[in-house]
Amino acid sequence: MTILVTGAAGFIGSHLCLRLLDRGEHVVGVDNLNDYYDVALKRARLSLLEGRKGFRFYRADISDESAISGIFNNSGSIRKVVHLAAQAGVRYSIENPMAYVQSNLLGQMVILEQCRRHEKFEHLVYASSSSVYGANTKLPLAVTDRVDRPISLYAATKRSDELMSYCYSHLYKLPATGLRFFTVYGPWGRPDMAAYLFTEAILAGRSIKLFNNGDMKRDFTYIDDIIAGVVAALERAPTPDDGEPPHRLYNLGNNHPESLLRFVELLEGALGRKSKRELLPLQLGDVVQTYADIETARHDLGFEPTTPIDEGVPRFVNWFLDYHGG
């Protein structure tokens, strides 16, 4: 059996491929290696995978139906897909909306079509986001909460992905699981995320930008915990239940919101330097707090995050310094 992972050169995707290969799985990785952020970082992640037994890589765009169809047809018995490729970033979605339509909507549809057409296909696991909760003020955020008020195009595309996947599960009995990730951080993280941005700025002596004057909380979730949740979901394909199609949604978060300022203080401690801070108003499309209710994931997947930010942040800093030769 072969597992297809899209976004294989990405932050979560590269970690997942490593975990699956360590278990002896055959993995086909797909990524378009776009320049949304530093391509060298993507290639460095990919270098950890290339040459590993059981790994094959294709450079392709998930919205290219012909290319993705060819990969499915040429890769043997693909039984499971973890679809992580997407155009990420809440703020960038305001600046470049068409990139999100192309990647997140058309790309999701291409993957759904290939999965439902592929013989003996078993399970699609796909990335959603905590951003689907939009303007909700009830905390913690639960999978049963309303998600019809997105405040960014990124959030709207991710909710659309959930609805399209539910529809395919209903129409074609396609087993599918959507995972709503909450503020993932750790080694090999994305340069547009807080941990990387702040660390880079502190080391360079530049000011870090703290929106809403720093009065924000995030459910920072360490990459190893996220990967454990993805693997657990992959192993548990949903089945029809009480008339509902084989489609499930889960929150994957640390279940412990932390102050952004405390996150910064931990970075400062690990780096041995103080930050310069620029206090700014809340940005368009952003939310003040996230907090994952993970009871459903606990019950169904056995998901239990184990890495507090006191441990995760120093691990990220150690990786950052090593990667950049600091």
List, for residues 153-181, the tens digit of each pLDDT value.
Answer: 999 999 999 999 999 999 999 999 999 99
CB neighbourhood size of 159 (10 A): 21
Sketch the domain layout of the chain as residue ranges. Answer: 2-186+220-252, 194-217+256-323
Confidence grade of residue 92 (pLDDT, cut at 50, 70, 90): confident
Q: Is the pLDDT reported for residue 24 higher than 80?
A: yes
Answer whether CATH 3.40.50.720 is correct for domain 194-217+256-323.
no
Confidence grade of residue 326 (pLDDT, cut at 50, 70, 90): low
The string of pLDDT tens digits covering residues 106-121 is 999 999 999 999 988 9
The residues assigned a catalytic role are 154
Which of 235, 219, 122 minimizes the C-alpha distance to 180?
A: 219
Answer whether CATH 3.40.640.10 is correct for domain 2-186+220-252.
no
For residues 238 and 310, the answer to whether their CB atoms sit within 8 Å is no
Q: Is the pLDDT reported for residue 76 higher than 90?
A: no
d(C-alpha 233, C-alpha 114), whole Å: 20
* One fold for 2-186+220-252 and 194-217+256-323: no
